[in-house]
Every structure is written in structure tokens, then in C-alpha cells.
Chains A and B, each alone.
Chain A
């Protein structure tokens, strides 16, 4: 069965610092992986997705993620954090039937000036 684990429910960084949000997955089939962001009082917005093409995926707002099969990881990074990046971030994997997404518990990113 598919699952995702997000390490760290809360990450705090300073403005301009590197952002690293960790996601490990478990999948019995080649995975399709996603990162979503949720700003306060809003729905989820897609940041990027991995669909078995390039292992380094670039998304919106300067975020990118690297698929590492050997480590079963899909960590999200951004070289320089902005205050506007403060939000909750969710990693997700498509279920085996391909009918829905399975989400991690989320990581709240705080950015301080």
C-alpha cells in the first residue's frame, strides 16, 4: 500500500535561508508524487509533481524537489525563503488504483525576518 511520511511537523527558517521539507514514501508500484501548499483559510495548491520523467522537478514559487528511489524520498527545497512562503506543505502519493491521492500529515513552515 502507498503511504507518505513527512518528517517534522514544524520547520522554522529565517528569511533568505534554505528551505528543506522532508518526505519519504512507500509504494508498491512506481510512484507519482506531489507537493501541495496550503495558505491560511485556503484550499491546497499544487507546487510540483513527479511523474517518472526527470528526477529533479521544478515547481512554482522557486520550489523544487528531487526524487531519489534509493532513499524513497521526495524532499522539497527552496534556496532562499521568503516571508510569503509561510504555510503548510503536504506531500502526497497517488494510490495504487490511481484514483486518489494519499497525503502526509503536513509540515508547517514558519519564516522569520
Chain B
């Protein structure tokens, strides 16, 4: 496997279910991101992890719970979601988050299409 992979690619869940999305990067990067892509809206940054530490939580509801056990893996745990949470969830990685000069390209996975019934 190369690049950034995400599983599952499609997920349908009820509002009372608990499920998890998985992201794995094979690029040796140290920063990982979760984005939400809804129809007709810009990509929304949800969480940022740098060297396994969460560095940004963009006011995401607590029904979304991220986990980053190591620099290669990122999870998004889901519970008691709402229908409006249906979207494409994209994971990305970069060598690091840029705190100063320079910039780091983010590499995206194919996404998980989530439908909440």
C-alpha cells in the first residue's frame, strides 16, 4: 500500500450506532488531519495531529472523537450522529504542520462516504 488509505470507503449507520473510521498513511509523515466535505460547502477542517498530539480541534461536536495512536494511523470514532453529519470524511497527512517558514503539501486519502439514517 502506498499513500494515504481510508477504510471503510462507504458507511451507513443509524443515529444510535457507534462506528470508527480508519486512516493510514505510508509516507512517513508526522502530521495527520480529518476534514469533512459536505455538498455545496467548503472542506471543513476538523482535527489536526502533529507527532501524535492533537494541535487543533475546530469546534467539532463531541460525538466525533479522534484518536492518533501513532504517526501512521488516525481514527475517527463516531457515536450518536445526526443525519446532517452525512458527508465525505477525508483524511490527509503532511510531513509536519508548518509553524514557520515553508509549507508542507497535504496528501489526501480517497475518503469515507458516511450516511447517517
List A residues at the B interface (Cβ < 8 Å).
32, 34, 36, 41-46, 49, 51, 90, 94, 97-106
Bound form: Cα–Cα A36–B43 in Å: 12
Q: Which residues of chain B from 78 to 111 have any CB-CB distance to chain A below 8 Å in the complex?
A: 90, 92, 97-100, 102-103, 105-111
- Which A residues lie within 8 Å of B98 (CB)? 94, 98-99
- Which B residues lie within 8 Å of A41 (CB)? 110
- B4, A43: Cβ atoms closer than 8 Å: yes
Bound form: Cα–Cα A27–B91 in Å: 25
Q: From residue A33, how far is it (CB to closest CB) to chain B in Å?
A: 9
- Which A residues lie within 8 Å of B4 (CB)? 43
- Which A residues lie within 8 Å of B45 (CB)? 100-102
Bound form: Cα–Cα A106–B56 in Å: 23
- B103, A97: Cβ atoms closer than 8 Å: no
What 0/1 pattern do residues 48 to 61 of B give for CB contact below 8 A with A?
A: 10100001100000
Q: From residue B36, how far is it (CB to closest CB) to chain A in Å?
A: 11
9 contacts between A and B (CB under 8 A): A32-B103, A36-B108, A44-B106, A46-B106, A49-B103, A98-B97, A100-B97, A102-B42, A105-B40
Bound form: Cα–Cα A69–B109 in Å: 32
Q: From residue B12, how far is it (CB to closest CB) to chain A in Å?
A: 16
**Most A CB within 10 A of own CB, among B41, B43, B108:** B43
Closest B residue to A32 by CB, please name it.
B103
- B99, A98: Cβ atoms closer than 8 Å: yes
Bound form: Cα–Cα A32–B56 in Å: 19
Beyond contacts A34-B105, A43-B110, A98-B103: 8 other A-B pairs, Cβ-Cβ < 8 A, are A44-B92, A44-B108, A51-B102, A98-B98, A100-B33, A102-B42, A105-B40, A105-B42
**Most B CB within 10 A of own CB, among A41, A49, A90:** A41
- Which B residues lie within 8 Å of A106 (CB)? 42
